Structure 1
Amino acid sequence: MKSKRGFLVSFITILFLLLLSGCETNMVVFEPQGPAARSITELINWSLILMALVIVVVFGLFGWIVWKYRERPENKDYEPPEEHGSTVLEIIWTAIPILIVIALTIPTVKTLYQLEEIPKGYEKKDPITIHVTSADWKWIFSYPEQGIETVNYVNIPEDTPVQFKLTSAGTMQSFWVPALSGQKYTMNKMETELYIVADNPGSYLGRNSNFNGKGFAEMEFEVQAQTKEEFDKWVKDVKEKAPKLTKAKYEKLLEPTHLGRLTYSNTHLGWVNHADPNSKTYTNPELYRGHGYQGKTFEDPENSGNHHMNQSHLEASDMNHHDLTVDKETHGGGHSGH
């Protein structure tokens, strides 16, 4: 009987390990690539340590109590006397949770305030400013200093603070680059700010982590961290080769659909600032009725690398909103991320 029981336990254990072996193990938040992400990872690790300590103590006490006060032949008919209880113990198990909350609250508050400022060590470096506008279901990045606008990808110089000014053309979404920062909401007629620094050149995946319709799950973008020389060359190439964006095509771009990567040599900030309380709201509710899921994810293996500049980006904006796509060679980074 014991051998059968042991075989069953071994079989269940092996089966459990085989099932777990197919699980995704790439946990990006534990591989920070910037100071903001490192601060968040340290906070998560501290929280995990405290939670593990609580679990070990609670389950240890639970096991000890079950074993110590288990029913045995010699105490089968024992009835414990009614007691008032222990004042000391009650004070202890009330004080311990308070201390745990304090131990979690202090570093959490300190980290949250630190994330609102330029990361330490970068205070003397002038940040570049990039306006981020979310729309269903795409990300629009405007560079007012460089006079550039991109869709679904953003290039930044490495080792340089970047100030993202976040807003939305309509519904509320959440801007999140797990390898570089925490998340912040984008809201229409409002503006939030987020500082990001990438330690090294690389490709980092960003996404919308807030549910706002069927398209939110695939509302992704790429942050391409480049060397200063690569970034300056990219800016020069865009200014020379990318097409201009018009107001009519921009409003068409805001319709609910998925897009590829687009690049323009001007920004929409000249005619609309979605953070302005008096700006227009672009929700296009009539396009959600009776049409179901608008568009589909742009997936093309040739749409990768920062090597192509196609003059026909804007032509895609004239297409019907049900099937809005772009040419294969759009100017942007690869799909991969850390």
Structure 2
Amino acid sequence: MKKFLLSLTALLPLLVLSGCNMVVFEPQGPVARSITDLINWSLIWMLLVVVVVFGLFGYIVWKYRERPENMEYEPPEEHGSTLLEIIWTGIPILIVIALTIPTVTTLYALEEVPKGYEEKEPITIHVTSADWKWIFSYPEEGIETVNYVNIPEDTPVLFKMTSASTMQSFWVPALGGQKYTMPKMETELYLVADNPGSYEGQNTNFNGRGYADMKFEVLAQTHEEFDQWVDDVKEKAPKLTEKEYEDLLKPTHLGRMTFSNTHLSWVNHADPDSKAYTNPELYRGHGYQGKIFEEEDNYKSEEINENDKHGHDENIENKENHGGGHDGH
């Protein structure tokens, strides 16, 4: 029984760690590769420390164990070894230096256009986190999406991020590390996708129940597919009104939405003087989960009524044609 319990105890950490996001070890862009290299470098040093410490622990326990021939042995009191104390103090300092230098170098490098892409013109996408959705604005293309973002492959993308409500965390594990979005402030993050593909992003900040489902898709397309998507949105997507945008910011879970204009003409939440759009009365003690829309994307659906097409619906929560589609594929 004791052996069984010991084996079960050893397996418990594996069961817990099995839920970890292992996508970070399959990087799909230069930013993610830099972070993965840094993680691997840290793991090597941690493994070295663990092996040495546990090895010495086992050796000492075995060598100085109690045996019949030393039962009455009483070791003399000693001052200690100055050399050993210098060694076991110096080694941790060297390990910290070995971890600090590449960490600081990598973090500063991530603030710039990824190496090898300096000559390519990045596209700019504004990211606004809200309760409980992600809003992506393309100021150069004049379009806006909710809960998904399409980007061209092999092209640096500058995400300018802010929040309409609480501080949240923007993370696409396959493409890069996380960065916070904060109201009335702006943070920047460069990402590049090497090849076309679909990658999941999410909010990793512990804000509460509703924020756990703040997920979005990053769809990397070929340049031809991306340009065609932009043209389709400009031609088919409805216009976003200011009233509709304010309703959209209320705490609700939404599907996908697409518009042929952006909210940046009314408000930039990164501006310190911008209006606050929090709705504390709608949380109902943090139990209000909003409404989930599972229909086709609003500009893809063939059943959009005329009010939806022109963005005149007064209540987003009652729309029937928002959400759920996989636009851009």
The 1:290–1:91 alpha-carbon spacing in structure 2 relative to 1, beyond 3 Å, is closer
The 1:68–1:140 alpha-carbon spacing in structure 2 relative to 1, beyond 3 Å, is same
Aligned twin of 1:308: 300
Q: CA deviation at 1:11?
A: 11
Partner Cα separation in structure 2 for residue 61 and residue 103 of structure 1: 22
Aligned twin of 2:245: 250
Among candidates 219, 227, 241, match of residue 224 of structure 1: 219
The 1:320–1:131 alpha-carbon spacing in structure 2 relative to 1, beyond 3 Å, is closer
SS at match of 1:274: coil
2:271 pairs with 1:287 = no
Percent of aligned pairs with the same amino acid: 73
TM-score by length of 1: 0.87
Aligned twin of 1:188: 183
Q: CA deviation at 1:329?
A: 6.5
Q: CA deviation at 1:20?
A: 5.1
Q: CA deviation at 1:200?
A: 0.2
Partner Cα separation in structure 2 for residue 58 and residue 333 of structure 1: 52
Q: CA deviation at 1:213?
A: 2.1
- Tell me how large the CA RMSD over aligned residues is: 2.9
CA offsets 1:70-123 (integer angstroms, 9 cap, x no match): 000110111100000000000000000000100000000010011000001100
Partner Cα separation in structure 2 for residue 91 and residue 11 of structure 1: 37
Aligned twin of 1:101: 96
2:269 pairs with 1:277 = no
Q: CA deviation at 1:216?
A: 1.0
Among candidates 74, 81, 89, match of residue 79 of structure 1: 74
Structure 2's unaligned 5+ residue stretches are none
The 1:20–1:235 alpha-carbon spacing in structure 2 relative to 1, beyond 3 Å, is same
Q: Do 1:36 and 1:119's aligned partners in 2 also have CA atoms closer than 8 Å?
A: yes
Q: Match of 1:238, as an amino acid?
A: V
Q: Match of 1:258, as an amino acid?
A: H
Q: CA deviation at 1:134?
A: 0.3
Q: Do 2:148 and 2:217's aligned partners in 1 also have CA atoms closer than 8 Å?
A: yes
Q: Do 1:309 and 1:331's aligned partners in 2 also have CA atoms closer than 8 Å?
A: no
2:229 pairs with 1:238 = no
Q: Do 2:113 and 2:156's aligned partners in 1 also have CA atoms closer than 8 Å?
A: yes
The 1:303–1:94 alpha-carbon spacing in structure 2 relative to 1, beyond 3 Å, is farther
SS at match of 1:215: helix
Aligned twin of 2:29: 34
Q: CA deviation at 1:308?
A: 3.2
Among candidates 190, 197, 203, match of residue 198 of structure 2: 203
Number of residue pairs aligned between Structure 1 and Structure 2:
323
Aligned twin of 1:212: 207
Partner Cα separation in structure 2 for residue 32 and residue 121 of structure 1: 16
Q: CA deviation at 1:204?
A: 0.3
The 1:177–1:313 alpha-carbon spacing in structure 2 relative to 1, beyond 3 Å, is farther
Q: Do 1:129 and 1:162's aligned partners in 2 also have CA atoms closer than 8 Å?
A: yes
Q: Do 1:142 and 1:150's aligned partners in 2 also have CA atoms closer than 8 Å?
A: yes
Partner Cα separation in structure 2 for residue 47 and residue 158 of structure 1: 30
CA offsets 1:36-94 (integer angstroms, 9 cap, x no match): 00000000000000000000000000000000100001101111000000000000000
Q: Do 2:248 and 2:316's aligned partners in 1 also have CA atoms closer than 8 Å?
A: no
Q: CA deviation at 1:319?
A: 3.5
Aligned twin of 1:54: 49
The 1:314–1:20 alpha-carbon spacing in structure 2 relative to 1, beyond 3 Å, is farther
